[in-house]
Structure 1
Amino acid sequence: MAIEQGVVEQVSDAQAHIRMQRSPACASCGSRHMCYSDSNEDLLVEIDNTLKAKVGDRVEVSMPTGSLLRLSVLVYCGPILAMIAGAYVGQTWAEALGAEPTPASILGGIIALTAAFIGLKRYDRAAKAKGRFLPKMTRILPGQPAIDCPVTPPADNR
């Protein structure tokens, strides 16, 4: 399980915006699209505020590493395997019909690669809707904020 710490910077509806320091694990994270970077070191992550954390709270955020590995294999290997399979099918089909195999294998590879990307996009939408592969707030930590970050207090509406 990948575990990071951060400070709640903003709370809105059922979401919390948490400022965390960028770690080396961020480069390979399958959920990095959920993070907004405003510097080279800090990340602003929007996650469900399941623990009802308040602005200024130090929290622990986790993500199962099995999810990261499975998602990485799917995203990086899936399109390549689909393209190879499509090229093979295109070549086999062309040879069976007596056509030129090179253009057919190129076309088959492009079609399969496009289908793989469309499939990944649909899978991504379904996974987001179900909350799969997203980081989760696991606990509120006692003490002072773990990192130096400007915590913006809520607006005073007087």
Structure 2
Amino acid sequence: MIEEIGTVVQLNDQNVWVETVRRSACQGCRARSGCGQAVMGDLLDQSRQEQKNILKLARGSVDPIAVGDDVVVGIPEQALIRLACLAYGVPVMSVLVFGGIGQWIGWPDIGVVFASALGLIASIVSVKKISRHWSCDFRYQPVLIAKRIASVKLG
């Protein structure tokens, strides 16, 4: 389970709205101070370094929660891998397959390029259709895992 901590901003009987802060990968990296990529990222676009997202989640059997509580939101690793394969793998494979078919048929290079473009367009349409279908599937939705208990230091 991939987890993220968020803050409850609104709730009702069925749903909970949780605000999370998306940070860039550079902010969590140990080599940030010596990395040229981090410096360029800071110079080019600081507004993208931290963005707030609000997620609408089904209210499960988590302890009583209130607005302002910190909660843990998670999504299964398998769901994330499947979604990444759908978003990245299907278009790449479609371009290669359609271009390969165009070349196998004996089309000139421009025909192979058009076949590849047709494969890309077909994959975008199919990925959009599949993702719309998966958006209703509870296995691909983030879930509210638990209420986060703040650690208290004694002494």
* Fold-level similarity (TM above 0.5): yes
- Is structure 2 residue 96 aligned with structure 1 residue 89? no
Whether the aligned pair in 2 keeps the contact of 1:92 and 1:101 (CA below 8 Å) is: no
What is the CA RMSD across the aligned residues, in angstroms?
2.7
**What SS class does the counterpart of residue 72 from structure 1 fall into?**
helix
Determine which of 56, 75, 92 is the counterpart of 1:46: 56
Q: Which residue of 2 aligns with 1:67?
A: 79
Q: Which residue of 2 aligns with 1:15?
A: 15
Whether the aligned pair in 1 keeps the contact of 2:23 and 2:50 (CA below 8 Å) is: no
Aligned residues: 128
What is the CA deviation profile of residues 91-115 of structure 1, one whole-angstrom value per residue up to 9, with x for unaligned ones?
Answer: 222x2xxxx4223212211111111
Whether the aligned pair in 1 keeps the contact of 2:73 and 2:145 (CA below 8 Å) is: yes
Higher helix share: 2
**Paired amino acid for 1:58:** D
Q: Which residue of 1 aligns with 2:92?
A: 80
1:13 shift after superposition: 5.7
**What SS class does the counterpart of residue 17 from structure 1 fall into?**
strand
CA distance in 2, matches of 1:80, 1:143: 44
Q: 1:24 to 1:64 in 2, by over 3 A?
A: farther
Q: Which residue of 1 aligns with 2:148?
A: 141
Q: Which residue of 1 aligns with 2:111?
A: 104
**What SS class does the counterpart of residue 139 from structure 2 fall into?**
coil
- Structure 1: gaps spanning 5 or more residues: 26-38, 145-158
Following TM superposition, the consecutive aligned residue runs of length 4 or more in structure 1 with deviations greater than 6 angstroms are: none
CA distance in 1, matches of 2:81, 2:133: 18
* TM-score under structure 1 length normalisation: 0.67
CA distance in 2, matches of 1:105, 1:41: 41
**What SS class does the counterpart of residue 17 from structure 2 fall into?**
strand
- Structure 2: gaps spanning 5 or more residues: 26-48
Q: 1:103 to 1:143 in 2, by over 3 A?
A: closer
Whether the aligned pair in 2 keeps the contact of 1:60 and 1:138 (CA below 8 Å) is: yes
What percent of counterpart residues are identical?
A: 23
